Amino acid sequence: MPEVKFYHRPAVPMEMHKVKIVQRLELLPAAERLQKMKEAHYNAFLLHNKDIFMDMLTDSGVNAMSDDMQAGMLRADDAYAGSETFYRMNRKLTEIFGMEHFLPAHQGRACEHIIAVHFVKPGKTVIMNYHFTTSKAHITRLGGKVEELIKDEGLIPASDLPFKGDIDLDKVRECIAREGAENIAFLRLEAGTNLIGGQPISYQNMKEAVAIAKEHGIPTVLDASLLQDNLYFIKTREDSMKDKSIREITRMIGDLFDLIYFSGRKFGFGRGGGCMVRDEELFHNMEDYVTMFEGFLTYGGMSVKEMEALIIGFEESMDFDVISQGPQFIRHCVDELVKCGVPMITPGGGLGAHINAREVVPHIPDHEYPAGALTVAMYLCGGIRGMERGTLSEERDPDGTEHIASVEMIRLAFPRRVFTLSQTEYVIDRVKWLYDHRHLIGGLRFTHEPKTLRFFTGRLEPVSDWPEKLVEAYIADFGEDQ
Ligand SMILES: Cc1ncc(COP(=O)(O)O)c(C=O)c1O
């Protein structure tokens, strides 16, 4: 359903479900939040969930299951080998994507591990529209390199381009000519391009990019972790696809690629993952990695209960009503914040609302992590946990210099079916307050910096006493109990 119409007021996004089970939330007073943030070393990943009011860190593994998914879990067939649950999951994925072979894995990065170990050799290049943190880390760990060939316009924060995740086809051709097709490990297209703001890639662009790769015998891989929102955008923004059902679009996409992998923490509303593989020989060549790293071939590290839930979750992901709500809530949040003057990544994409940190706090230099600082400030001023997606999420260059991210943003993820409209309005309100007090926000620096994926467990400190000053201003406006 595109949108439920209203009679006496402009329409707002609607929840197409009702709440049957709830989890109590607590809004700690600001002074306590300051203490919790200190204890978490100014890294939102190190906060305890009980101290958070609106957890908008990610959509990963925190999407709400439906009653059908929970009911499905009861019939899970628990077996080390040959579980009926596995065969049901394989059949459902084959029906959706049109590929026969399924390699189960415990989550998305486990698929990336398996794919990288199989395809990447030192010096080989992986062509992408844009990297994701874990996908890049697996490739570079093995001595491979990543070429991100997204169209230049995709990186312009404020835009009205419908498909900012599209890859630049000329750059793809040029890269293959420069590197030599035999040195390209694979082409990886990421649906719902995460690190540039959940921005979609069009079907047409996927088709053309894959055709170029095929011409040169280069394997083609789709990261379908964020496919659900991307399907919504293909149907609603790509003219030639508007009369197709979500199921038809998914199948057309499936027919393009040699391999499709996904994080079931995102695609399917559950927890798990796996790779669909077209070619039987490739499947057999990769299956050893599942048994070596993940588990036996009929569970791959997943619990059978989650697998049963995912089977139903995949089916729900084919339902236009179900998949419309996330992008509609995100668009509402983005549009309202734009009206408040907050620099946002536009147009609103999937996954979450993304704030352009470089423009909000231009006084913070990149090496003091503007988006990281804004993430800290967001928790202090509202108990909202977002995720830094910028320089802090990058790895240093081999000579130790900071790799400055092309996009510096904070993501406010909308886990699917989790938040209501009033909670969304609260977030809009607090972001507006923070924007009006942005001059109070200062930078961060590392006190402990892990070498790989440093944003997960790194420890930081503020460069001055700005968090105290910010909290003082907040209490002056909202009182001590908020
Ligand atoms: C596009 C994309 N690919 C891969 C992954 C990795 O998936 P997982 O977190 O399940 O390991 C993620 C996770 O956020 C993602 O967004």
Best mutation site among 266, 267, 310, 416 for ligand 1 pocket (most ligand atoms within 8 Å of CB):
266
Number of domains in the chain: 2
- High-pLDDT (> 90) share of the chain, %: 97
pLDDT score of 1 more than 70? no
Which residues participate in catalysis according to the annotation?
80, 132-133, 223, 266, 389, 455
Residue 163 and residue 125 share a domain: yes
Whether 90 maps to a domain, the answer reads yes
Q: pLDDT tens, 331-386?
A: 999 999 999 999 999 999 999 999 999 999 999 999 999 999 999 999 999 999 99
pLDDT score of 2 more than 90? no
pLDDT score of 201 more than 70? yes
Whether 7 maps to a domain, the answer reads no
pLDDT score of 225 more than 90? yes
pLDDT for the residue 6: 94
Task: Determine the atom of ligand 1 nearest the C-alpha atom of 264.
Answer: 10
Whether the CB of 309 sits within 6 Å of ligand 1: no
For the record, the structure tokens of 323 come out as: 């998949």
Mean pLDDT score, 149-167 = 97
Q: Give residue for tokens 């995102």.
A: 266
Domain hosting residue 46, numbered range: 30-59+323-478
Show Cβ contacts of residue 202 under 8 Å, excluding neighbours closer than 6 positions: 162, 163, 166, 234, 237, 238
Whether the CB of 190 sits within 6 Å of ligand 1: yes
Q: pLDDT tens, 47-92?
A: 999 999 999 999 999 999 999 999 999 999 999 999 999 999 999 9
Whether 191 maps to a domain, the answer reads yes
Whether 189 maps to a domain, the answer reads yes
Residue 227 and residue 186 share a domain: yes
Residue 415 and residue 331 share a domain: yes
Rounded to two decimals, the pTM is 0.95
Task: Determine the atom of ligand 1 nearest the C-alpha atom of 58.
Answer: 14
Whether 84 maps to a domain, the answer reads yes
Give nearest CA residue, ligand 1 atom 4: 108
pLDDT for the residue 3: 82
- High-pLDDT (> 70) share of the chain, %: 100
Mean pLDDT score, 435-459 = 96
Q: pLDDT tens, 252-299?
A: 999 999 999 999 999 999 999 999 999 999 999 999 999 999 999 999
pLDDT for the residue 153: 96
Mean pLDDT score, 233-241 = 98
Whether the CB of 134 sits within 6 Å of ligand 1: yes
Whether 245 maps to a domain, the answer reads yes
Give nearest CA residue, ligand 1 atom 2: 225
